[in-house]
Structure 1
Amino acid sequence: MPERARPTRTAVPAALVAGLLLTACGTTPKPDAPAAPTAPEKTTATKSTAPAVKAAATLGGPGTACALPVSFGLAEGWKPEAVDDPENPEFAALTRQGPAVVRCEVDAKPTGNVGYLRVWTVAKGPARAALEGFVKAADKPSAVTYRETRAGAPAATEVTYTTHGELTDETKEQRAFAVSAREGAVVIVHLGGLDTDEHRAILPAYELAKSTTKPL
Structure 2
Amino acid sequence: MGQNVARGIVPAVALTVLVLAGCSTAPERDTADRAEPAGETSGSAKAGAGSGSAAEGAVIGGAGTPCALPVSFSTAADWTAEKVTAGDDPAFASLVRQGGVNLVCEIDAKPAGSVGYLRVWTGKGKGTPREVLEGFMADEKKAASVRYRPTEAGELAAAEVTYLITGEFESEPKKERALAVSTPGGSVVLHLGGLDTQEHEAMLPAYELAKRTMAVTD
Quote the Cα distance in structure 2 between the aligned partners of 1:122 and 1:135.
14
Match of residue 25 from structure 1: 15
1:90 Cα deviation after fit? 1.9
Moved more, 92-101 or 140-149: 92-101
Contact 2:16–2:95 (CA under 8 A) maintained in structure 1: no
Quote the Cα distance in structure 1 between the aligned partners of 2:156 and 2:89.
30
Say if 1:27 and 1:59 are closer, same or farther in 2 by CA, change over 3 A.
Answer: farther
Quote the Cα distance in structure 1 between the aligned partners of 2:168 and 2:66.
33
5+ long unaligned stretches in structure 1? 1-8
Quote the Cα distance in structure 2 between the aligned partners of 1:134 and 1:127.
11
Quote the Cα distance in structure 2 between the aligned partners of 1:182 and 1:11.
30
Instruction: Name the aligned partner's letter for residue 54 of structure 1.
Output: A
The reply to whether residue 164 of structure 1 matches residue 154 of structure 2 is no
Match of residue 116 from structure 2: 115
Say if 1:209 and 1:177 are closer, same or farther in 2 by CA, change over 3 A.
Answer: same
Match of residue 38 from structure 1: 31
Q: What secondary structure sits across from 1:41 in the alignment?
A: coil
Contact 1:27–1:94 (CA under 8 A) maintained in structure 2: no
Quote the Cα distance in structure 2 between the aligned partners of 1:179 and 1:11.
29
Moved more, 24-33 or 98-107: 24-33
- RMSD after superposition: 2.5
Say if 1:190 and 1:87 are closer, same or farther in 2 by CA, change over 3 A.
Answer: farther
Say if 1:27 and 1:212 are closer, same or farther in 2 by CA, change over 3 A.
Answer: farther
User: What does 1:16-165 correspond to in 2, within 5 Å?
Assistant: 16-20=8-12, 24-25=14-15, 28-29=18-19, 36-39=29-32, 41-44=34-37, 46-47=40-41, 48=44, 49-50=48-49, 51-85=52-86, 89-124=90-125, 125-165=127-167
Quote the Cα distance in structure 1 between the aligned partners of 2:111 and 2:36.
33
Instruction: Name the aligned partner's letter for residue 25 of structure 1.
Output: L
Equivalent pairs counted in the alignment come to: 205
Which has the larger share of helix?
A: 2
Quote the Cα distance in structure 2 between the aligned partners of 1:26 and 1:144.
19
Moved more, 11-20 or 59-68: 11-20
TM-score normalized by structure 1?
0.84
1:126 Cα deviation after fit? 1.9
Say if 1:112 and 1:26 are closer, same or farther in 2 by CA, change over 3 A.
Answer: farther
Q: Identity of aligned pairs, percent?
A: 45
Q: What secondary structure sits across from 1:77 in the alignment?
A: coil
Quote the Cα distance in structure 1 between the aligned partners of 2:62 and 2:36.
35
Quote the Cα distance in structure 1 between the aligned partners of 2:80 and 2:9.
16
Quote the Cα distance in structure 1 between the aligned partners of 2:91 and 2:4.
10
1:86 Cα deviation after fit? 6.3
Instruction: Name the aligned partner's letter for residue 92 of structure 1.
Output: A
Match of residue 5 from structure 1: none
